[in-house]
Amino acid sequence: MSHILTMTYLPKRLVIEAAVAETALVRRILACYGDVPIAWVEKVAEDESALSDGQTLEVVGFPGRFVKSCPGTRSHLCCGYQILHLGTQCSLGCTYCILQAYLSGRNLRLFANLGDMWLELREHLGSSPRRVHRLGTGEFMDSLLLDPVTHLSRELIPFFAGQPRAVLELKTKTANVELLEGLSHGGRTIVAWSLNPQDLIRSEEPGAADLEARLAAARRCQEWGYRLAFHFDPLIAYPNWRQGYAAVVNRLGAMVDPGRIAWISLGTLRFMPALKEIIRRRHGGSALLHEEFVPGLDGKLRYFRDLRVEMYRHLSTLLRRLSRDLLIYLCMESEDVWREALGFSPVERGGLSAMLDGSV
C-alpha cells in the first residue's frame, strides 16, 4: 500500500539568527522541533553553510528580494513565472536536483522575516494590478515539504484568494496537503506535483512521496476545490520510459479530473555541467547520466534534441487522450523544438506567458 501520510522532516540541529528570534515562524518551528538542539547565532555564516551536511535547518533574516522572475534564457521560450522566494534547499534527495549545484549550502534554509515578504509582495502585486501574476514558491525549495512545520500555506492561500489577477502555484513532490483543507482559496491557488514513473521515483527521488501518494493528495486537493497542475519535469529517458510515462498518465487520468488541471509542463532532464560531477559523487548508483547529453543553447547539458522531441510527442499524445483541452507547455525549449514536438509555436498564440495567463 502506498503511503499518504504527511512526510516529516526532522533536522538534527536548528541554527536560528537572533534577529528573527521573535517571529511567528520561529515560534512555530520551535513548537514543532522542541527536542532538536538549537544554536542561536548573529548571522549564519555562508562558509559554514557551504560545508554543511544538510542535517541542519537554518532560519534566517533574508535581506534580498522575495519576489523575482524565473531565470529564463534568451534562447528558450520562458513561461513568465515569478518566484516567491521563501527559502532554499530541499531534503528529498532527488539525484538530478539542480539545487545541488546551484546552491552552495546543503542545509534547508527558511526566511523568517515574513513581514518584509508581505510588504514586498503587496507592493509587487499593487504596482502592476492589471497584469496577471503567476507566482510560485517551488523554485528553490519544495513548496509543501515544510508546510506541516511552517503553516505558511494557511497564510499564503487566503491572501491570494483576495487577489483577482494573481495565482499562487504550490509545487511539491510530497503529499503534505493536510493544512490546505478548509482554506478559503477562491480558486487562486494551484497545487502542483512533479510526476515521474514509480520506478524512477524509487531510484531518483528517494525522499519524495511515491506516485500514488502524490496523486491521492492531488485528488484530495481537487475535492477541496483547488485547481491542479502537473509537471513532467524532469522527463527522464530510461530503458522503459515510454511504458513508464504511459502508466503515470493512466494513473493521472484515473485519479483526477482533467478539467480541473490548469496546466501541465513537460521538460526533459537538463542541468549545469557542474552537476554531472556532483551526481557521480553523491549518487554513484544512479543511471541518470547514462543517456547522451549535448550542451544546449543555454550551456546546460540536455538530451539530444531528437530524443527530447520524441519524449515530448509521446507525452503530449498520451495527455491529449485524457483531454484535448489540456494546456500543455514545454519548459525551457526553443521555438523550433516546440514546432517539431507539439506542432505549433506559442508565438502564434500570443506567447507562452499569455497562454498560461489565459488559464488563470
Partner 1 sequence: MAEPHLEPIPFAAIDWQDTSSLITYGPLPDILRRSVQAVGLLQIPMLQGKPEGGFRVVSGSRRLLVCRELGLEPVTCQILDASVLPGACLRFAVYDNVATRLLNPVEKSLVLAKMLAFLPQPQVVEEFMPLLALEPSVTLLSRYLELLRLEKDMLDALADGRLHERTASALAPLEPADRRSLFALFGEFAFSVSVQQEIIELAVEIGEREGMPPAEVLEADAIAALRRERRRPTRHRAEEIRRYLQGRRAPRLTARRERFLRETQELGLPSGVRLISPPNFEGPQWRLECIFQRGQDLAHILRTVSGIAAQPEFQRVLEGCPISSP
Query: Could you say which of 56, 95, 334, 353 contacts partner 1 (CB under 8 A)?
Result: 334
Footprint of partner 1 on 253-292 (CB under 8 A)? 287, 289-290, 292
Decide whether 42 or 306 has the Cβ nearer to partner 1: 306
Minimum CB distance to partner 1, residue 3 (Å): 32
How many other C-beta atoms can be found within 10 angstroms of the C-beta atom of residue 17? 19
Candidate ranges 83-91, 108-116, 118-126, 308-316; the one touching partner 1 (CB under 8 A): 308-316
Which is closer to partner 1, CB of 128 or CB of 240?
A: 240
In angstroms, give the least distance from the CB of 114 to partner 1: 36
Contacting residues for 84 by C-beta, under 8 A, at least 6 apart: 66, 67, 117, 121, 135, 136, 137, 156, 168
Distance CA 273, CA 279 (A): 10
Sole binder of partner 1 in the list 66, 81, 193, 241 (CB under 8 A): 241
**Cβ proximity of 165 and 130 under 8 Å:** yes
User: Which alpha helices (H) appear in 195-287, and where do they start and end?
Assistant: 198-204, 211-223, 241-255, 273-282
Selected range binding partner 1 among 13-21, 135-143, 173-181, 331-339, rule: CB under 8 A? 331-339
Vertex 160, ends 158 and 162: CA angle to 5°?
A: 80
- Report yes or no: 173 and 214 within 8 Å, Cβ to Cβ: yes
- Work out which of 37, 164, 295, 358 binds partner 1, going by CB under 8 A: 295
Closer Cβ to partner 1, 136 or 346, answer by number: 346
The reply on whether position 237 binds partner 1 by CB under 8 A is: yes
Q: What number of other Cβ atoms are within 10 A of residue 10's Cβ?
A: 12
Provide, rounded to whole angstroms, the least separation between the CB of residue 297 and partner 1: 5
For 333, the grid coordinates are: 525549449
Kindly state whether residue 340 participates in binding partner 1, applying the rule CB under 8 A. Answer: yes
- Closer CB to partner 1, residue 50 or residue 354? 50
Candidate residues 304, 317, 323, 348; the one interacting with partner 1 per rule CB under 8 A: 304
State residue 226 phi and psi, 5-degree precision: -75, 150
**Only segment of 57-65, 147-155, 180-188, 295-303 that touches partner 1 (CB under 8 A):** 295-303
Contact residue for partner 1 among 22, 42, 294, 324 (CB under 8 A): 294
Q: Which of 296, 329, 331, 332 binds partner 1 (CB under 8 A)?
A: 296
Considering only 47, 123, 336, 348, the residue that binds partner 1 (CB under 8 A) is 336
| φ and ψ at residue 307, rounded to 5 degrees | -70, -40
Strand order in the sheet with 166-172: 67-69, 82-84, 133-136, 166-172, 189-194, 227-235, 261-268, 328-330
**Selection from 103, 110, 109 nearest residue 50 by Cα:** 103
Rounded CA-CA distance 70/80 in Å is 7
What is the three-class DSSP state of 297? coil
- Number of residues engaging partner 1 in binding (CB under 8 A): 24
Cβ neighbours around 133 below 10 Å, total:
22
* 307 in contact with partner 1 (CB under 8 A): yes
Binding site for partner 1 (CB under 8 A): 75, 237, 241-242, 287, 289-290, 292, 294-297, 302, 304-307, 309-310, 313, 334-336, 340
